[in-house]
Amino acid sequence: MKKILLPLLALCMVMMLTACGGSGEQSGKQTAQAYLDQDSKAVIVTTVDLTDGWSVEFARGAAYIYDTEITEGLESTAMLVTLDKQVYEEHMAEAAKAEDYTEADGGAYYTSESGEQNYLAAVDGKAYVLITANSEADIKDIVSRVDLAIE
């Protein structure tokens, strides 16, 4: 029995290590993924590209994105939050008034009165997100790092 069990166990370990490490090495892309609850109708699956030293912290309904390694006291470069439909619509009304309002990448880009860069999007018409970034950040680069899907 040991002669059969040990080789099978070793094979399983090799397959698990290959599955964990192989996908990142083949594509050259490191990612982190989490489920951000919206409501009973939809759950947002968020994947963030971490190549080039980026990092992310997930919390229920939010993701904090950093353009470097996370250290104590460091403020995030950008924050992604989930919104309910009414709050999304309020933000969209504010966005439409902004001078730099543009629609692209499945959502709307605009700068708030406080100077934050924003990206507002409806995901499959079921869930809503707002990504805010500090004024020095490149919001389009940040949005290109985030993949949102409904599960």
Per the domain annotation, does 112 fall within a domain? yes
Range of the domain at 130: 28-150
- pTM given for the model: 0.77
More confident call, 64 vs 5: 64
More confident call, 102 vs 5: 102
Per the domain annotation, does 89 fall within a domain? yes
Q: Which residue has the tokens 């997930």?
A: 58
Task: Give the pLDDT confidence score for residue 136 in this predicted structure.
Answer: 84
pLDDT level of residue 139 (50, 70, 90 thresholds): very high
Q: How far apart are CA 18 and CA 35, in angstroms?
A: 24
pLDDT per residue as tens digits for the range 94-127: 999 999 999 999 999 999 888 899 999 999 888 8
Per the domain annotation, does 8 fall within a domain? no
Per the domain annotation, does 139 fall within a domain? yes
Please give the biggest Cα pair distance in the chain. Answer: 73
Domain tally, the chain: 1
Facing residues of 106 across strands? none
Per the domain annotation, does 93 fall within a domain? yes
Task: Taking residues 77-84, report their average pLDDT.
Answer: 92
Determine the residue type at 60. R
Q: How far apart are CA 115 and CA 133, in angstroms?
A: 9
Per the domain annotation, does 17 fall within a domain? no
70, 48 contact by CB (below 8 A): no
